[in-house]
Amino acid sequence: MTDTLLSYDAALAEFDPALGLEVHVELNTATKMFCGCPTAFGAEPNTQTCPTCLGLPGSMPVVNTVAVESAIRIGLALNCRIAEWCRFARKNYFYPDMPKNFQTSQYDEPIAFDGYMDVEVDGETHRVGIERAHMEEDTGKSLHVGGSSGRIHGADYSLVDYNRAGIPLIEIVTKPVLGTGDKAPEVARAYVGQLRELLLGLGVSDVRMEQGSLRCDVNLSLAPKGSGTLGTRTETKNVNSLRSVERAARYEVQRHAAVLAGGRRVFQETRHWHEDTGVTTSGREKSDADDYRYFPEPDLVPVAPSREWVAELRATLPEPPHERRARLQREWGFSDLEMRDTVGAGALGLVEDTIAAGTPPQAARKWWLGELARRANETETEIGALGVVPADVARVQSLVDEGTLNDQLARQVFDGLLAGEGTPDEIVAARGLALVSDEHALSAAVDSAIAANPDVADKIRDGKVAAAGALIGAVMKEMRGQADANRVRELILERLT
């Protein structure tokens, strides 16, 4: 079944979108939320479990203090208020990957609430309100074998890995984000991107969307333009990259608009995003029928962070993102546009690390934005997931500075890096990319170029130095690009002037 979509422009002409973003962050604590099991990713299934995270009868939870600390730091970084007293609650529902058939979470007493994050899109700042950030435990991971959908219905059998069960999660929920107009999908993407950067800076999570350590649900609703109301929302899950956040939001805008323009109602439901086809499909209907029967977890005592502790944690916060951006722009001497592009590409940290490795700011910007951002876009990959790290870029630039590479050869080194051929030096050696520094070979090539182009040579002799370009081109062709163009020019001019 294909959804009818309205064109994006037509949708925005009639409706105001309201965004809501729910982000689940897996913390990088050494142990789980309520037991001492390790949290390392990728271990053999069901080897990182104990009576508590398996929910065996009689087992009891004990709160991981480091997770509480991370939650408070996240809350503070999001300008939230930190609860003086809060409890965990049980969220009751049945599912085979839930060991206790309830999730230990927080309900009406989140650890952090009422904050905001300023998000920049195209030089405009959008303030995204943060409703709450609360602590909870992850579920196990189901693998449904057989059947066509990869989901539990229709599967031949299902396997469950409880290694993930009990890993600490922080769920960060925004308030409805209004007034973004046609920028809604970009604001959604920028929010998640900036949140990821903030979490990285805090050092509380690996924030790898592809491994599920940062998961995003995109809530979207439309209201008639200018009505100031909120429409019925859908909650789109399985949105596993920044690019998908934007695409999924855009898709839902177009789908909702078509439904509403056709005089029909939007169903409040969960939708699944399909990265490959770029569409959402209906999941289970989410309505008032969902009753999680929350009540305070009687096996845990309240969490009551002292104000002194909160103040200590506040002192550990890294520089806020907007201050950091302003400082870096100043230090690097970037124009507003250059800075905006860098942030927009999600390359701020990458550029920063490259500069820290010794590369001049403009060179770092040139490679990341001119070269690598384009490649990321072409392959629909996150720029940070290309497989090229700041140290590689810094090394390529130093090879250029040393005269071993020119820009054109450097691009070939990036090809090699993207193809996983090794370090920049290994690629230069293996591909034979180094510039020819053998003066004899260069001189011979220059001489033969002069001999083959007597008319051009005459022009130069007559003082038309600009004509040297043609000879340089001929030499570069002869040398298959592996020559230093400046040196070639010098050699030509030595001979003809």
Partner 1 sequence: MTGEGATRPAPSVRATAADLSAALERGETTSVAITRAHLDRIAEVDGAVHAFLQVDTEGALRDAAASDERRAAGSSYGPLDGIPIAVKDVLATRGLPTTCGSRILEGWVPPYDATVVARLRAAGLPILGKTNMDEFAMGSSTEHSAFGPTHNPWDLDRIPGGSGGGSAAAVAAYEAPFAIGTDTGGSIRQPGAVTGTVGVKPTYGGVSRYGLIALANSLDQAGPVTRTVLDAALLHEVIGGHDPLDSTSIDRPLPALLDATRQGADGDLTGVRIGVVRELGGEGYQAGVLARFEDSVELMTKAGAEVVEVSCPHFVHALATYYLILPAEASSNLARFDAMRYGLRVTPAGDPSAEDVMRATREAGFGDEVKRRIILGTYALSSGYYDAYYGQAQKVRTLVARDFEAAFERADVLVSPTAPTTAFKIGEKVDDPLAMYLNDLATIPANLSGVPGISIPSGLADEDGLPAGVQILAPAMADDRVYRVGAALEALLAQEWGGSLLDQAPPLGEGAGLRPSGDQGAGA
Residues that bind partner 1 (CB under 8 A): 51, 54-63, 90, 92, 94, 96, 99-102, 152-153, 158, 160, 288, 291, 293-295, 298-301
- 56 vs 444 by CB, closer to partner 1: 56
The one-letter amino acid at 338: E
State in angstroms the smallest separation of the CB of 152 from partner 1: 7
Q: Closest separation between CB of residue 307 and partner 1, Å? A: 22
Q: Which is nearer to partner 1, 66 or 300 (CB)?
A: 300
Q: Pick the closer one to partner 1 by CB: 54 or 391.
A: 54
We find the least distance from the C-beta atom of residue 146 to partner 1, in angstroms, to be 12
CA distances from 96 to 54, 99, 119, 141, 151 (A): 11, 7, 38, 9, 13
Q: How far is the CB of 35 from partner 1 (least distance, A)?
A: 9
Shortest Å distance, C-beta 299 to partner 1: 5
Residue (127 or 293) nearer to partner 1, CB: 293
Nearer to partner 1, 34 or 191 (CB): 34
CB of 58 to partner 1, least distance (A): 4
Length of the chain: 497
Q: Which two tokens stand for residue 339?
A: 């800075």
Is residue 50 within 8 Å of 86, Cβ to Cβ? no
CB atoms within 10 A of CB 209: 21
Q: How far, in Å, CA of 324 to CA of 329, rounded?
A: 9
Nearer to partner 1, 296 or 318 (CB): 296
Q: How far is the CB of 93 from partner 1 (least distance, A)?
A: 9
Of 427, 352, 422, give the one whose Cα is nearest residue 394: 352
C-beta separation of 213 from 26 below 8 A: yes
CB of 186 to partner 1, least distance (A): 37
Structural contact between residues 113 and 80, judged by C-beta atoms closer than 8 angstroms? yes
CB 347 within 8 A of CB 375: no
Least spacing, CB of residue 273 vs partner 1, in Å: 24
Cα-trace Rg, the chain: 28
How far apart CA 376 and CA 240 sit, in angstroms, is 16
* DSSP string over 166-217: T-EEEEEEEPPB-S-GGGHHHHHHHHHHHHHHHHHHHTS----GGGTSEEEE
Shorter beta-carbon distance to partner 1: residue 129 or 296 = 296
We find the least distance from the C-beta atom of residue 79 to partner 1, in angstroms, to be: 30
First-to-final CA distance of the chain: 74
Residue nearer to partner 1 on the CB measure, 101 or 362? 101
Tokens 């058939």 — which residue?
Answer: 101
| Residues 182 and 116: beta-carbon distance below 8 Å | no
- Of 262 and 298, nearer to partner 1 (C-beta) is 298
Looking at the Cβ atoms of 299 and 490, the one nearer to partner 1 is: 299
- Structural contact between residues 214 and 26, judged by C-beta atoms closer than 8 angstroms: yes
Strand partners, 375: none
Beta carbons within 8 Å of 275's beta carbon, 6+ residues apart: 238, 240, 241, 244
